[in-house]
């Protein structure tokens, strides 16, 4: 019971960050059995781009989001083997913004453990037979953030992810590079989350990466 309570508290914390979009905000997709299936795994940023991604891939793929907020890689490792049921043709996944949080003065997950966790997660996802798309972590803006994060950590953790996932994924969707020159326009002020146009922009990047991997 104590473990359950602590787990529920942790999951609630994932969803309480200002500007966060709940992972299930896009609702449940109704599968067209003639279309391939895409699973999105990630934190509240992925909750923001799932609905526009579903619209962009309408008639091309069934787009689902994994249950709940992915949180840090430690949470991903804890839930290995617990994907939603069914066959997945493409799985997109990201972990990063929770790993780099500095609530206690140190990273929630240090960079060495981040790399090790990503290897475990990717190797488990590979067992599904799905094509894997790694989604890089979006930029951290300047200013006083709640919870605190450091601007240089996003690219450092992205570099670590590329080391860990070399040969383990089929494609990379580089949100960081795409979004960096447009943060003033598309990102919320002193907040890692995005305006609706920002989520639309991210969905466009991911749709362009996913479409070549779809099997009809």
Q: What is the domain range of residue 92?
A: 29-213
Cβ-proximal residues to 2 (8 Å cutoff; 6+ apart), any chain? none
Tell whether 19 is covered by a domain.
no
Question: What are 60-89's pLDDT values in tens digits?
Answer: 999 999 988 899 999 999 998 889 889 999
Confidence of residue 103 (pLDDT cuts 50, 70, 90): very high
User: pTM for this one?
Assistant: 0.89
Type and span of the H or E element at 159: helix 153-165
The Cα–Cα gap between 115 and 117 comes to: 5
> Total domain count for the chain?
1
Cβ-proximal residues to 166 (8 Å cutoff; 6+ apart), any chain? none
The Cα–Cα gap between 177 and 113 comes to: 24
**Of 184, 157, 44, 195, residue with least CA distance to 149:** 157
The predicted pLDDT at position 68 comes to 85
Type and span of the H or E element at 113: helix 111-126
Can you give the CATH number for the domain in which 52 is found?
3.40.50.1110
Mean pLDDT within 33-45: 96
């Amino acid at each position: 019971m104590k473990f359950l309570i602590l787990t529920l508290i942790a999951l609630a914390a994932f969803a309480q960050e200002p500007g966060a979009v709940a992972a299930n905000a896009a609702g449940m997709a109704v599968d067209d059995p003639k279309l391939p299936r895409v699973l999105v795994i990630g934190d509240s940023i992925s909750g923001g781009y799932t609905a526009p991604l579903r619209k962009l891939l309408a008639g091309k793929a069934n787009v689902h989001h994994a249950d709940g907020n992915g949180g840090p890689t430690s949470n991903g490792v804890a839930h290995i083997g617990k994907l939603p049921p069914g066959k997945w043709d493409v799985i997109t996944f990201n972990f990063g913004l929770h790993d780099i949080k500095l609530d206690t003065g140190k990273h929630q997950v240090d960079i060495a453990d981040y790399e090790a966790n990503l290897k475990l997660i990717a190797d488990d996802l590979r067992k599904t037979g799905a094509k894997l798309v790694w989604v890089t972590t979006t930029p951290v803006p300047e200013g006083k953030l709640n919870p605190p994060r450091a601007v240089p950590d996003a690219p450092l953790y992205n570099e670590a992810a590329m080391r860990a996932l070399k040969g383990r994924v089929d494609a990379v969707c580089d949100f960081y590079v795409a979004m960096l020159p447009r943060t003033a326009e598309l990102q919320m002020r002193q907040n890692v989350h995005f305006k609706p146009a920002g989520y639309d922009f991210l969905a466009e990047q991911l749709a362009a990466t996913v479409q070549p991997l779809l099997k009809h």
